[in-house]
Structure 1
Amino acid sequence: MFFRWDWLRPQLTAPIVPTLGPVHPDALTVGIFEDVLRAADTGGFLPYDKDRRWGGEKDERVLRDDVVHQPEHTLIPTLTRRGRGTVKVFAYGLGDGVVDEAAERAAKLAAGHDVAGARVVRPLGPESTHPRGTRIQLKDFTAGSCPAPDGPVRPITAWPTAVQESFAPFAEAMAGDGLSFLHARMQAGRCGPVLAAAIEDRIVGAIGPMEIQPDAIGHPQLMPQYFAVLPEARGQGLGRVLWRAAMHWGQSHGAACQLLQTEIGGLSDRLCQAEGLTSLGFTYAMSA
């Protein structure tokens, strides 16, 4: 075993694991960190990796020989070759000096692996007074009922053909939110259902794919979705209706929880906070 849990556990201010992203607090064990090290040797997906659903090969891997694990802090670097390539160093530790050490290490590793990007990922606890970056949020489906909302939302395949055909221009308009990627997956028949909101026979919002996968300890988890509403259709409550429809789908299909990352202060962040999700902490990524 590489990691000492009595060293690592006090450093974990937020439940974020390199290459995996946010995990349920109950799944935050020494075993999950050991798993990501073992996966670095194979280049494959862990059985509970949320990115496994997209197929292909795992792009990001831990640089296991460059991990620093000490009583006061732990630095875990990862490498991706996507685009011009990036090294990220996850900086776990309570002292401010851990960020400087992580930045120096990220820059050296990026140069050594001949990639353009060098970044530090800093987890912050939920009590942080001035957080930046993204908030990790938990939806607990066992805490209460998620009734189906009233509104013009249904699975896209349940809309008339003419309405379904309007998804393509909607997806193109919202490509920056990942909807064009989602549309390609839909056309290939390689993803779960997508819920769509339509007004005047035109799709103006969507959330999906709706998929459930067991996490590292077997909890059925609703996977994160792509979620967008056309700018001109905002302000009518459609985002909230789509969100609640997705939560109703997740609960009715047996999900125990969902973990999300939302940009602090963004529309999704404000919606999740208003809907009562639990904040588990934050992650802030900065250039090294």
Structure 2
Amino acid sequence: MRDTSGPEGLVFPVPYVPTLGPMHPAAITPDLWRQVVEVSGTGRFLPHDKDARWGGAKAEHVLVDHVRDSDGQTAVPTLLQRGNRRTVRVHLYGEVDLDQAAEHAAKLAADLGADRAHLVRLTADPQPGRCCRIQLRVFAPGAEVPEVEGATELDRLPESVRATWPDFAEELAGEGFAFLAAKEHAGALDGPVLTVTEGGRVVGAIGPMATRPDPVGRTRLLPQYFGVLPSYRGRGHGRTLWRAAMAWGQRSGTAYQVLQTELDDASDRLCRGEGLATLGFVTTVAL
């Protein structure tokens, strides 16, 4: 992993850019940080922003005047607004003073009328709190695409099985599938959703499957929603979905995928077992 400095001397020792999220280290350039600063507060998306797929306006922007960077300690605050709810998130790199950072975040939240304040620590090692691993999956150019049995695109399911999709999405609403189902119903998905079925119903899904060029022009596989119903876990459905998604990425000429998994949950263990490389950790603490 390499350090990347921005035009103001900002360094991202962990490959995570505030408002853009985890990225391939080679895609984080000084020009990228300049672009982030230029669009902050405008509601516009950068062309390589993974959230641009959903349309609308950019919900989070950097509070440029409140960035702190000195002596290897960096704090980049952002404001995230969804509906009437505002959240200040202070992204921390280096050996920062957490009490001082918490005070900084709380003051910003009060000044901006935010409902919540979070500290987001970007580190090379896991930390206490809600910790996620940044993982990298690299695709080999021209590699043979393996056959994966058992995964079917949602739109290709028999109608009776397809009709169970809303119930599946509702049961996994907390993992984002209610949002995904609403987008699918509106015809707003940018790629297929892969499913596994059992007993005539959808019991697992991953998607939408889509790619987008990164800031340096390499094709990356965008993050997916990924889940299996609790009562159907432990039967290999998650691994089938993951491998089918990776086969889709290989067929699509993808260079890599960067994703976040919650430390030691089922997805994290699956990705580790599939040989993904760890790039760093993201720990979120609510104040």
Question: TM-score, length-normalised on structure 2?
Answer: 0.92
Question: Does the CA contact (< 8 Å) of 2:136 and 2:278 recur in 1?
Answer: yes
Q: CA deviation at 1:15?
A: 0.4
What residue number does 2:199 align with? 200
Corresponding position of 2:44:
44
Deviation at 1:32, TM superposition (A): 1.6
* 2:74–2:96 CA contact under 8 A, matched in 1: no
Q: Deviations over 1:230-276 (max 9, x none)?
A: 11111110100000000000110111111110000101000000000
Q: 1:213 to 1:116 in 2, by over 3 A?
A: same
Look up the match of 1:70: 70
Partners of 1:48 and 1:214 within 8 A in 2? yes
Q: What is the CA–CA distance in structure 2 between the aligned matches of 1:74 and 1:145, rounded to whole Å?
A: 43
Q: Counterpart of 2:92?
A: 91
Determine helix, strand or coil for the equivalent of 1:14. Answer: coil
- Where do 1:173-188 residues align within 5 Å? 173-188=171-186
Residue in structure 2 matched with residue 169 of structure 1 by the alignment: 167
Query: What residue number does 2:218 align with?
Result: 219
Deviation at 1:70, TM superposition (A): 2.4
| Partner SS, residue 48 of structure 1 | coil
CA distance in 2, matches of 1:142, 1:76: 35
Match of 2:227 in 1: 228
The alpha-carbon deviation at position 130 of structure 1 amounts to 5.4
| Counterparts of 2:205 and 2:268, CA distance in 1 | 17
1:286 CA displacement: 1.3
The equivalent of 1:103 in structure 2 is 102
Alignment correspondent of 2:262: 263
Structure 1: where are the runs of 5+ without partners? none
Does the 8 Å CA contact 2:10/2:74 hold for their aligned counterparts? yes
Kindly provide the amino acid, as one letter, of the partner of residue 241 in structure 1.
T
Whichever residue aligns with residue 8 of structure 1, its letter is: L
> Structure 2: 5+ residue runs without aligned partners?
none
- 1:8–1:71 Cα contact (<8 Å) kept: no
Q: Identical aligned pairs, as a percentage? A: 47
Which position in structure 2 is the counterpart of 1:17? 17
1:61-111 CA distance string (max 9 Å, x none): 111111123243221110012253110111122x242x3332221111000
> In structure 2, how many angstroms separate the alpha carbons of the residues matched to 1:41 and 1:55?
16
Q: Distance in 2 between matches of 1:271 and 1:145?
A: 22
- Gap change, CA 1:3 and 1:119, over 3 Å in 2: same
Matched, 1:58 2:58: yes
Change (3 A) 1:186 1:119: same
Q: CA deviation at 1:41?
A: 4.3
CA contact (8 A) 2:76 2:92 kept: yes
Q: Cα 1:202–1:211, aligned 2, differ >3 Å: closer, same or farther?
A: same
Matched-pair contact (CA < 8 Å) for 2:211–2:254: yes
Q: Deviations over 1:194-239 (max 9, x none)?
A: 1010112211111110011111111111111111111111111010
SS at match of 2:148: coil
Partners of 1:287 and 1:129 lie apart in 2 by 17
Deviations 1:11-70 (A, max 9, x none): x33100000000111012222222111111422111110000001100111111111232
Relative to the length of structure 1, the TM-score reads 0.91
SS, match of residue 42 in structure 1 = coil
RMSD between superposed Cα atoms in Å:
1.8
CA contact (8 A) 1:229 1:238 kept: yes
The whole-number CA distance in structure 2 between the counterparts of 1:268 and 1:145 is 25
> Mean Cα displacement is larger for which, 158-167 or 269-278?
158-167
**Corresponding pairs, count:** 279
Partners of 1:182 and 1:41 in 2: how far apart? 26
Distance in 2 separating the partners of 1:13 and 1:109 = 25
Shift in Å, 1:146 = 4.9
1:272-283 matched pairs, under 5 angstroms: 272-283=271-282
- Cα distance in 2 for partners of 1:148, 1:66 equals 51
